[in-house]
Amino acid sequence: MADEPTADTPRVAVLGGGVMGETLLSALLTAGWTAEQVEVTERYAPRADELAGRYGVRTGASNAEAAARADVVLLAVKPNVVASVLDEIKDALGEGELVVSVAAGLPIASYEKRLAAGQPVVRVMPNTPAVVGKGASAIAAGTHATQEHLALVERLLAATGLVVRVEEKDLDAVTAISGSGPAYAFYLIDAMAEAGVLLGLTRDLATKLAVATVEGSAALAAQSGDHPAVLRERVSSPGGTTVAAVQVLDAHGVRAGVVAAAEAARDRSRELGKQY
């Protein structure tokens, strides 16, 4: 017999079975939801079968059918199809049923104008490391979402990594730092590995060293709680190799480049949001 929903584990419909949809599904099961309390919709039948086989969840329903059975709807579809999905589920949503979206760029107002008056909406800006439980997600409440709704979303996302609350106005900046940020980190890893090859290491060894160094440095920064500048100084012996290297980074404007990149990402996020 299927488990009944409780106040702690309301029924959840995940609309969209792509990478982020599967990430959310896995996070829910890790956080204590059972397979009977979670439903996934996926139009591509082989993918739906794959998710059903891997997680034991129901995958065969339409968006509207899944939304009607749920207490919470997680939208994990591409931004360009969100409007059509909202039109599908609008009449199936129960009064007060929470809608959570991880679609990039779409402002909360674009959801609220398509849904029934008073429908609570929470917008999430995740990033790709959520796939391995090391993500950073920011959540923002819509007009009718309460502190209890935000707390529930934090529980839904807990297994994906860090979850922080922000005002919606700050989500463009969040996009620039944590949303696009993994690309900056991968860019640095690639550059470090390329430098290792130039200095005579094999590409495999250089890449392993670069990945482990960035991973370890991030873990140390997280665990120590010290300012990154303090941690950098601890590596930098007077007159040593690290000081010489950092001087070159500064001379090439790396810090200014990162700031400029983040500003460009923020501006682009704003532009995309205006399209909806």
**Residue 76 in marked binding region:** yes
Residue 20 has pLDDT above 80, yes or no: yes
Domain 12-171 -> CATH class = alpha beta
Res 1 pLDDT > 70: no
Q: Residue 129, annotated ligand binder? A: no
Would you state the structure tokens that stand for residue 251, as one six-digit string?
Answer: 């001379």
The pLDDT of residue 4: 47
- Condensed to tens digits (0 to 9), the pLDDT of residues 78-116 reads 999 999 999 999 999 999 999 999 998 899 999 999 999
In whole angstroms, what is the distance from residue 107 CA to residue 103 CA? Answer: 10
pLDDT for res 7:
54
Check whether 1 is labelled as a binding-site residue.
Answer: no
Mean of pLDDT over the chain = 94
**pLDDT for the residue 3:** 46
- Amino acid type, 62: S
- Number of other CB atoms surrounding residue 40 within 10 Å: 28
Tokens describing residue 43:
């139009």
Model confidence pLDDT, tens digit, residues 24-46:
999 999 999 999 999 999 999 99
Average pLDDT of span 124-145: 96
Q: Is 78 annotated as a binding residue?
A: yes
State yes or no: 90 annotated in a binding site: no
Tell whether residue 16 is among the known ligand binding residues: yes
As assigned by CATH, the class of the 181-273 domain is: mainly alpha
Report whether 18 belongs to an annotated binding site.
Answer: yes
pLDDT tens-place string over residues 176-235: 999 999 999 999 999 999 999 999 999 999 999 999 999 999 999 999 999 999 999 999
Q: What is the 3-state secondary structure (H, E, C) of the chain?
A: CCCCCCCCCCCEEEECCCHHHHHHHHHHHHCCCCHHHEEEECCCHHHHHHHHHHHCCECCCCHHHHHHHCCEEEECCCHHHHHHHHHHHHHHCCCCCEEEECCCCCCHHHHHCCCCCCCCEEEEECCHHHHHCCEEEEEEECCCCCHHHHHHHHHHHHHHEEEEECCHHHHHHHHHHHHCHHHHHHHHHHHHHHHHHHCCCCHHHHHHHHHHHHHHHHHHHHHHCCCHHHHHHHHCCCCCHHHHHHHHHHHCCHHHHHHHHHHHHHHHHHHHHCCC
Q: Answer yes or no: is 152 a known binding residue.
A: no
**0.85 surpassed by pTM:** yes
Establish whether 79 is an annotated binding residue: yes
Q: Is 157 annotated as a binding residue?
A: no
pLDDT in the model for residue 160: 96
d(CA 194, CA 88): 49
Residue spans of the domains in the chain: they are 12-171, 181-273
Residue 125, annotated as binding a ligand: no
pLDDT class of 9 with cuts at 50, 70, 90: confident
